[in-house]
């Protein structure tokens, strides 16, 4: 197996030194109008809607293998390509792309720490020239070891070695705000809002590992557990998945569809009682 070009969480200075490397593919998952205005030189653009699938009322599902392989072929991905992803909205879009790549077995991925915020605000080069990749044949098989569906969660609800992390807002968690037929949270889930690990004073970079670990442990989310993260569609919680992976949590799964799946089902158990922890 080839050596990764960059660490899992890459800084802007590190990435700038790698631009132009033929084994590197920088993917911008920002809003299309932002990409048209400015982006990292050489970065290609993917619209977030291209990497998810809808089956109303459930959103944020995994793409089919056919959809995924067609898209990856179109952007010129190869098994040895190192993907660095970023966006303009805090990392959820980019992390969802990386989670999807891992679900299909792609090995070498990185998230740009702070995304477009850190890159643009700290004076790194920008371009408004669109990049059109050269297609390559790409064929990956779904692995799914970082995925938990509704059946998997129901099977592990009473497993003391499995913890559920709810990355939504406090109001969504408590059930006072609903975007599905039913409101509340998965029984036993711990609320840990997706943005807690980000530092707004440092261009939305992650806080230090020690700081985030302290916050997680204070809520009972421990590295020895398998942690299943979810939000409304597994967009916000994709960043939570990445955060735990970055902190070396060995067993982390994301729930595609998330509450849009669980809350729109008739027979899934739900809790609505609040917790006392701060966001």
Q: Is 1 helix (H, G, I), strand (E, B) or coil?
A: coil
Marked catalytic residue, from 95, 204, 231, 243: 231
Helix (H) or strand (E) holding 36: helix 32-37
8 Å CB contact between 161 and 250: no
8 Å CB contact between 126 and 39: yes
How far, in whole angstroms, is CA 266 from its chain's centroid?
Answer: 27
Catalytic residue check, 28? no
8 Å CB contact between 260 and 180: yes
How far is Cα 59 from Cα 71, in angstroms, rounded to an integer? 19
CB atoms within 10 A of CB 55: 10
What's the half-sphere exposure (Cβ side, CA atoms, 13 Å) at 152?
18
CA distances from residue 8 to 65, 149, 153 in whole angstroms, order as listed: 25, 25, 27
Active site residues: 231
């Amino acid at each position: 197996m080839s050596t990764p070009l960059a660490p899992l969480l890459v800084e802007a200075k590190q990435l700038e030194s790698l631009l132009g490397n033929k084994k590197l593919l920088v993917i911008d998952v920002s809003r299309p109008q932002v990409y048209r205005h400015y982006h990292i030189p050489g970065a290609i653009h993917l619209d977030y809607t291209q990497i998810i699938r809808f089956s109303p009322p459930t959103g944020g599902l995994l793409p089919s293998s056919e959809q995924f392989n067609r898209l990856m072929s179109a952007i010129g991905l190869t098994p040895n390509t190192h993907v660095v992803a970023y966006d303009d909205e805090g990392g959820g879009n980019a992390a969802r792309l990386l989670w999807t790549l891992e679900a299909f077995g792609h090995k070498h991925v990185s998230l740009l720490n702070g995304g477009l915020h850190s890159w643009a605000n700290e004076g790194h080069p920008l371009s408004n020239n669109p990049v059109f990749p050269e297609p390559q044949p790409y064929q990956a098989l779904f692995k799914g070891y970082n995925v938990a569906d509704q059946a998997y969660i129901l099977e592990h609800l009473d497993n003391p070695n499995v913890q559920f992390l709810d990355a939504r807002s406090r109001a969504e968690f408590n059930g006072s705000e609903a975007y599905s037929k039913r409101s509340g949270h998965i029984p036993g889930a711990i609320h840990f809002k997706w943005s807690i690990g980000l530092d707004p004073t440092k261009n939305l970079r992650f806080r230090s590992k020690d700081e985030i670990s302290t916050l997680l442990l204070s809520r009972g989310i421990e590295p020895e557990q398998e942690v299943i993260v979810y939000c409304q569609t597994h967009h916000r919680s994709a960043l939570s998945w990445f955060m735990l992976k970055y902190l070396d949590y060995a067993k982390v799964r994301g729930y595609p569809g998330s509450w849009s799946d669980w809350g729109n089902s008739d027979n899934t158990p739900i809790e609505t009682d609040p917790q006392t922890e701060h966001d």
